[in-house]
Structure 1
């Protein structure tokens, strides 16, 4: 099973090796989608957790006991086709290849299942046609 979560770390545990502990103690893989961590301040990670449902729940409970705020992420990328000018700038920053220009029509194609919701495309769009649904 997979769960996408946002982890917010308090200052005192920002140096804790969370992904290592998830892997070794709970057999849960953590694919880091986005990280924003400032040493000696706070941290925020968007991760996709993979593992057995019981292991995932135990890992999430453990993180809560460590004062890590865990929130489920349900965001998806949405593209406003009325605003999009099919410039292709977003395709250059998409790490999963979910965004691409069709070689025949030169129109933007979005493969939603490939999207990791890393949000790198959002600030790249010059006409602000890309956003999250939250």
Structure 2
């Protein structure tokens, strides 16, 4: 399973091999979604940890012990079909076409294609799309 987390590195450790050590120590895989790290400056990293919930909890604890601020990010997107007006606005911004209009012009959502970028949440005029944080600590 994947767990999306946001890491904020203090400037004094922004160039340390923390993520490399993390993968070795907890035997997990990861994807980097976004990063901005410069020597001597505060940095951030958005990671998808590909591991069990137990490994993710251990990894978060390790990162926090290293002085890194860790926050959970959305784990999945939920579309409330009861309040959705099927306007299709979200389809224009969805980078993976997880949200699309089917052949009958009804809004469809392919959960497997969704990368949880959350762009659709901000764009939905009736707030029918929400983020499921699905905290690692649940």
Q: Secondary structure at the match of 1:60?
A: helix
Matches within 5 A, 1:1-134: 1-32=1-32, 34-39=33-38, 40-74=40-74, 76-77=76-77, 81-82=84-85, 85-86=87-88, 88-91=91-94, 93-94=95-96, 97-102=97-102, 104-121=103-120, 125=123, 132-133=130-131
Specify whether residues 126 and 62 from structure 1 end up closer, same or farther in structure 2 by C-alpha distance, changes over 3 A only: closer
- Quote the RMSD (CA, aligned, Å): 3.3
**TM-score w.r.t. length of structure 1:** 0.66
Q: For residues 87-121 of structure 1, give each alpha carbon's deviation from its aligned partner in whole angstroms, at most 9, with x where no partner exists.
A: 53124x23xx422231x123331123542312344
Q: For residues 46-78 of structure 1, give each alpha carbon's deviation from its aligned partner in whole angstroms, at most 9, with x where no partner exists.
A: 322123555433322221111111223346435
User: Which sections of structure 1, spanning at least 5 residues, go unmatched?
Assistant: none
Report the Cα offset of residue 7 of structure 1.
1.7
Question: Could you tell me whether the CA contact under 8 Å between 1:122 and 1:128 is conserved in 2?
Answer: no
Stretch moving more, 70-79 or 2-11: 70-79
Q: Distance in 2 between matches of 1:26 and 1:14?
A: 21
Q: Distance in 1 between matches of 2:6 and 2:66?
A: 15
Q: Distance in 2 between matches of 1:3 and 1:24?
A: 18
Report the Cα offset of residue 20 of structure 1.
2.4
Q: Distance in 2 between matches of 1:9 and 1:98?
A: 32
**TM-score w.r.t. length of structure 2:** 0.64
